[in-house]
Every structure is written in structure tokens, then in C-alpha cells.
Chains A and B, each alone.
Chain A
């Protein structure tokens, strides 16, 4: 079976050029889709299941890195994860992170010679992965690279700037309910869940909606106490009662004092191992 690729790039000329250059350098590679923004990239990738992703970092709506995370989390178990290659014009912070995580990246303007090296590496990686014994370590190393990138401050939002001085820790969540503001101590929160443009704040008694994004909220929480277990879920670690791994390897959490069950994405499943 020929390898397939998806290109996510918001600038149409650059997307067309990348596709043309790839056709010349790697004739066997079939580009199954080009997406103009992050959300489209996720949708198309999950539907078409390509073996390689070329992701522009700065895209409207969702960055290339966020798209890579969403794809890795929602990717079905029966197909190997696609190999990501990030494409960027000038993001010095991103470049450092890519180097450190040993993730493949290409700079714009794309130099055919450099893209050729990337293609050769991808071909080798795909060949290794198809050898049956290597599938599991390959998956784990792709996940580890992604985790490393996601942990880089300021990179996930990819505004091209480093995170400003660490924002102050939140002690109380101020949630509007009608005309009143409910003061919810952070210590009472069981978990936060992203819901479109809002975040659900769930406590033992009730839940609130606050008008902020999880991306903005997370840096204001103590990472040792509040664990990200999914791109849309952050849970207070001492509120977790059990973590259960089913036969497919999927981890599910139960909470103290609450009936909700939370799904842990494969990116964060490594957090739950017996001591």
C-alpha cells in the first residue's frame, strides 16, 4: 500500500507548492487532502487516516501543534499513528522545541533539498514501523515527542512569543450565575472540562461554566495538583479514586464523591501506573 499524506497549510499557494514538491521528491506518496485550518486538518486526518502529516504551525482557529494533539488523542487503535512533520516560517521558540524533541520540521520557504532529507527519514521510519515487532515503541516515541512539545511553555498557543512571566496561581474561580458571582475555591474543583468557548468547572455539589479557554486556565493551576489527562480535561489528582485500564489499553478514571467517569487520552495514559 502506498503511503499517504495530509497537508495542513492556510496559505493556498504554499500548500500547492508543497504538494508539487512532494510529488517530485517522493512520487509514491499520495496526498489525500489539503486542509486550510487546524480543525479541518483534524477532521480530514481522522477520516482519511494518512500515514504522514505536514502541519503548518500558525493556522487560524487551531495551531498545527493542537491539531497534532487532537489527532493523536482521537486516532483509532487499529491504524498506526501518522508521523507528524511541522512546517513553519519563523518561530524561534518552536524550532528549539522541535530540536529538543527530535521532531521533524521544515522551514518556509521550503528548500527541496531539505524536504528531500525529511522524505528519506519518513520513508525509513515508515519501513521500520511496518516491521511488526517495532509498532509499539514507534507509537510510544511519537507520543513522547508530542508530550514534550506540549509541555513547552508558550508553544501550544504558538503565537510565536514566549509565555510572558508565569501568570499568578488562581485560588478562587469566579463563576457568573445570573446576576451573582459564585466564588469557587480551586481546592473544591474536581475537574475542568473544555466545552466550546467555555470551561465546565465541576465540584462535588454542582458545576459552573466560565468564559475562558482551558488553554488560558491551565497555566494558572498548580501542575502538581491538577493533571491534564486529555486535551479537554484537567483533573485534581487527589480527587481521582481509581484509574482502570480496559483490554484495549484505554484508561478511565473514577472520582471521589462524584459519579462522573473521565477518559484519559493515550497521550497521558503513562501518568497512571502502579507504584
Chain B
């Protein structure tokens, strides 16, 4: 299974990975969910146990010079009995334990724990061996191995010869089952990480925006080459910032504003006079440290849900100011307002900003979204602790 951007979630997002993910989205195909590895069914484990038991008895018959057919019959029937009582007992016990303590560990649904298992092994071996001897007597006819073996002198040997293979088989099947469960869980985690990355990247590099920008660029190349070059530079700046955003911890507010103005310039080529922009960054705040592209989703929302639906477009104002120890950043638009915007469309972007603020600043930072006073539209305000310079 391909594992795009697997592992370190905060790791660097390489362009190649993005292209691969984008290609997958285009075809709407994520890696298929890993088929949960089939647990070996009850009966199949029985067949496997019989094969092992048959093999062992053949070796014993040869080594101790016993008659093969007779040894085989008893050995197979004892194996059958032991498998039935031990494996069946394990499944029943596991189900019971699982019901009392809901499964929070992988493989719990099939494993009752070693304490239970040892008891089941002992009881299962005793029951299984007795059943096997009785069955063997029945098959061969006229023999009474059951009462012979139940004599105290033979009983020890019987239990040892049945118990040890039972124990070995239990360890073997348990280990394999647990490995399979752990592997399935790891695959699930990788898949979830990839999906989260994909959603994040899709929200940052919205394909609709990207292809529309490229369409405009394609036209400008023939029409106005210098302007095309400027536009391409802005696109490069925007892409580089987006792909690096998860790698850099903080950057200067001036860098944040120039990335936003790149993005807005791209949008202005597309929307023409329908988009007016005003950025206000006081000089003394230019060096303030902020998480990279923190405001990007807010600006995108303002355009996509505020201004684009409006036939005449509108104006977007981004300002920074200081309020004591707090840096206040606001994104204001004169668009259609919050009531008209689809609630679920904006939620992911807002949630992303809130999550980042919570991770980095805890309760010290906040994001509010409210109707803008006068002229309609929306006002998004981010408050975060003022850090005078970037440490990086």
C-alpha cells in the first residue's frame, strides 16, 4: 500500500507527495482500506492442529517402534479433542471477558489473557485427551486405552505429551493473531493520517483556485508577458509558502502579509474590479512572530463565501494592531454576510485555524467570527500573544 506522507504528521510535505495525493483526489481514490486480515477460522485451526499432531505421532511411532496405524488413530483423536476444548474454550472465555471489559486492545476479542488461557489449557487437555482416548477406542474397537491411560502411572505421561503440544500451538496461534491485529491497526492509523493530510492540503491548495489561476496565467502569457511573469512569481511564492507552512514554526508578520498579498493579487487577476484589497500593517508590528499562513483560510473564506457569490464583488481589509500584550489580526469583508454562507463549507477552514491556535497558545489565543459592523459582510478576528520577534 502506498503511504503518502505517512508517519510524522507534522513532517515536511514534499511536492511529489502532494502531486501524488492530488492525482488520487482527481480520481477520487484513496488507497483502498486494508482488508482486515482474515482471522483464521475455528475449523481451519483444527485442521492445522490435526496436521501437526499427525506429523508428530508419525515421528513418535518411528522413534519408539510402535505400530503406526494405532498410534496415528489415538494421536489424531487426542489432538482433535484437545483442539476442540482448548480453542473452543479460548473463544468462549474471550467473548465473556470481552463483554465484561470492552475491547480497547487489539486482538482482545480473541484472547482472554494468559491466566484464563493456562486454566483452559489444563482443563482442555484433560477433557480433550479423555475424549480422544474414548474416540480412539471406539474407532479401533475392542480396546480400552481410556481406562489404561487413566491409571495414575500413565496419566502423567499422557498429560505431558498432550499439554506441551497444546501449549506450543497456543503460543504460536496467539503470536500470529496478535501480529496480524497490530499490523491491521498500524495500517488503519497510516490511512487516517494520510486522509487528514489530504484534507489539509486540499483546503490549502484548493484545486479550483489552482486551475483557475493557471487558466488565467495561460491567457496572460500570450497577452501580456510581463504581467504573466509577475503572476507566476506570485503563484510560486504562494505555493512555496503553502508547502512550507507545516515545517516552519513561526514567521514574521510582514512575511505573512506578503504571502497574503500574493494570494490576493492572484485573486485580483481573476476577479478584476470585483475584488478590492486593503492591507494595513503598522511598521512596529512587522517583525511580530505568527504561525505561517494562519490568516490564509480566513481570507479564502471571505472571498469564497463572502465576495465571490456577490455579483458586484466587494472589498477585503486585513489589519494588524496591538492591544497590550495581545496581537489582534482581523479579516473583514463586505460580502454577503454569515447568514448566506453555507455552514459546512466554512467550518473546516475555521476549525483548522482554531486547532492551530489551541495547539500553539492554549487559552491565550482565540478566533471570533461575527457580522461586520456597517456595510454587511463578515469580520474574523484572531487574538494571540504578542511575540516581538521571530526566534527562527
* A interface with B by C-beta (< 8 Å): 10-14, 16-17, 36-37, 39, 58, 60-61, 89-92, 107-110, 159-161, 164
Contacts and interface: CB of A to CB of B under 8 A. Distances in A.
- Residue with the highest number of chain B CB atoms closer than 10 Å, among A61, A109, A110, A160: A109
25 contacts: A10-B271, A11-B270, A11-B271, A11-B272, A13-B216, A13-B223, A13-B270, A13-B272, A14-B216, A58-B208, A60-B274, A60-B309, A60-B310, A60-B313, A61-B311, A89-B207, A89-B211, A89-B215, A90-B208, A90-B212, A109-B214, A109-B218, A159-B342, A159-B345, A160-B208
A92 B220 contact: no
B273 to A, nearest CB: 9
Interface string B196-215: 00000000000110111011
B212 A11 contact: yes
A61 B274 CA distance: 13
Contacts of B218: 17, 109
Nearest to B227: A13
Nearest to B217: A109
A13 B228 CA distance: 12
Nearest to B273: A12
Contact of B220 (A13, A107, A161): A13
A246 B377 CA distance: 48
B311 A14 contact: no
A16 B220 CA distance: 11
Contact of B26 (A10, A17, A92, A109): A92
- Residue with the highest number of chain A CB atoms closer than 10 Å, among B223, B269, B309: B309
Interface string B142-167: 00000000000000000000000000
Contacts of A39: 311
Interface residues of B, number: 29
Contacts of B270: 11, 13-14
Contacts of B208: 58, 89-91, 160
Given A90-B211, A160-B208, A17 B342 contact: no
A90 B272 CA distance: 20
A169 B117 CA distance: 53
B216 A164 contact: no
- Residue with the highest number of chain A CB atoms closer than 10 Å, among B208, B214, B272: B208
A39 B310 CA distance: 12
Given A13-B270, A17-B223, A109-B217, 20 more contacts: A10-B274, A12-B272, A14-B212, A17-B215, A17-B218, A36-B311, A37-B311, A58-B208, A60-B309, A60-B310, A89-B207, A89-B215, A90-B212, A107-B211, A108-B211, A108-B212, A108-B215, A109-B215, A161-B344, A164-B344
A110 B309 contact: no
B309 A89 contact: no
Contacts of A164: 344
A7 B210 CA distance: 22
Interface string B260-274: 000000000111101
B328 to A, nearest CB: 31
A109 B211 contact: yes
A16 B269 CA distance: 13
Nearest to B344: A164
Contacts of A36: 311
Interface in B276-316: 308-311, 313
Nearest to A96: B28
Interface string B341-354: 01011000000000
A257 to B, nearest CB: 35
A11 B345 contact: no
A65 to B, nearest CB: 15
A176 B250 CA distance: 50
Nearest to A62: B311
Report the 7 A-B pairs with minimum CB-CB distance, sorted nearest first.
A109-B215, A89-B211, A108-B215, A17-B219, A90-B207, A89-B212, A109-B218
A22 to B, nearest CB: 13
A170 to B, nearest CB: 18
Contacts of A58: 208, 308
- Residue with the highest number of chain B CB atoms closer than 10 Å, among A61, A108, A161: A108
Interface in B310-349: 310-311, 313, 342, 344-345
A249 B190 CA distance: 60
A36 B313 CA distance: 11
A108 B207 CA distance: 11
A158 B161 CA distance: 72
A13 B266 CA distance: 13
- Residue with the highest number of chain A CB atoms closer than 10 Å, among B26, B212, B272: B212
A13 B311 contact: no
A16 B218 CA distance: 12
Contacts of B215: 11, 14, 17, 89, 108-110
Contact of A14 (B219, B274, B308): B219
Contacts of B25: 92
A89 B213 CA distance: 9
A145 B344 CA distance: 29
A92 B22 CA distance: 12
B358 to A, nearest CB: 25
A7 B230 CA distance: 28
Contacts of B219: 13-14, 16-17
Contact of B311 (A60, A89, A108): A60
A192 to B, nearest CB: 20
A160 B208 CA distance: 9
Contacts of B214: 109
Contacts of B26: 92
Contacts of A61: 309-311
Contacts of B310: 60-61
B216 A92 contact: no
Given A90-B211, A91-B208, A159-B345, A60 B308 contact: yes
- Residue with the highest number of chain A CB atoms closer than 10 Å, among B218, B219, B308, B313: B219
